[in-house]
Amino acid sequence: MKLNEIKDNEGARKERIRVGRGIGSGKGKTAGRGQKGQKSRSGVAIKGFEGGQMPLHMRLPKRGFNNPFGKDYAEVNIGQVQKLVDNKKLDAKKTVDHEALKAAGVARGGKDGVRLLAKGDLTAKLTFNVAGASKGAVAAVEKAGGKVDIIDKGKPEHEKKAERREANKAKKAG
């Protein structure tokens, strides 16, 4: 094979159809749009429109709730951490935190930090510095001789506002 012999696979490049170019082209006159009606005109965007009938997405009931104060944690199981220590991707002598777990490729996402969960076994003596941990995970880490430090990122904004409101009421009353 030479450079001048390189070409695309058959059907890789498709020529566009030139519509409205006479009856002999097969796409002349109405340009494949049929006759009359809203869809034969340009500038039509009627996705989900059902001719005036209540559209399906409006007929179906709404479900669920999106909590504006919900936390986004990267969930990491202690079994995964043990595998990383065994594969020498995580140093057992250093503190295991969000950055270390992210660098090892376990903690994906989690803008509010890492939450440690108890799935799996832990044998290495590790010190964790995480945003949250389940009771089982804390017990498993302490059983292995390690320690879990939970970062206190402070109270959420809505709790702070509620406290300020209560303090202001107390000041006005007393």
Gap between the Cα atoms of 91 and 100, Å rounded = 9
What are the residue ranges spanned by the domains of the chain? 74-150
Cβ proximity of 81 and 126 under 8 Å: yes
- Range name among 19-28, 32-41, 60-69, 152-161 with the lowest pLDDT average: 152-161
Tens of pLDDT along 18-53?
999 999 999 999 999 999 988 888 888 788 888 889
Gap between the Cα atoms of 125 and 90, Å rounded = 12
pTM of this structure: 0.55
Q: How far apart are the first and last CA of the chain?
A: 92
Over residues 81-109, the mean pLDDT reads 88
Closest-CA residue to 114 (of 71, 143, 155): 71
User: Who contacts 72 (Cβ-Cβ below 8 Å, separation ≥6)?
Assistant: 109, 110, 111, 112
Tens of pLDDT along 135-147?
999 999 999 999 9
| Segment (H or E) for 82 | helix 78-86
Mean pLDDT of the chain: 89
- Range name among 7-11, 89-93, 96-100 with the lowest pLDDT average: 89-93
Question: CATH: 3.100.10.10, 3.40.190.10, 1.10.645.10, 3.40.630.30. Which one for 74-150?
Answer: 3.100.10.10
Gap between the Cα atoms of 55 and 4, Å rounded = 56
Cα-based torsion angle of the residue sequence 79, 82, 84, 89 in order, rounded to the nearest 10 degrees: 160
Q: Which amino acid is at 29?
A: K
Cβ proximity of 133 and 155 under 8 Å: no
Cβ proximity of 114 and 74 under 8 Å: yes
What is the per-residue pLDDT for 53?
93
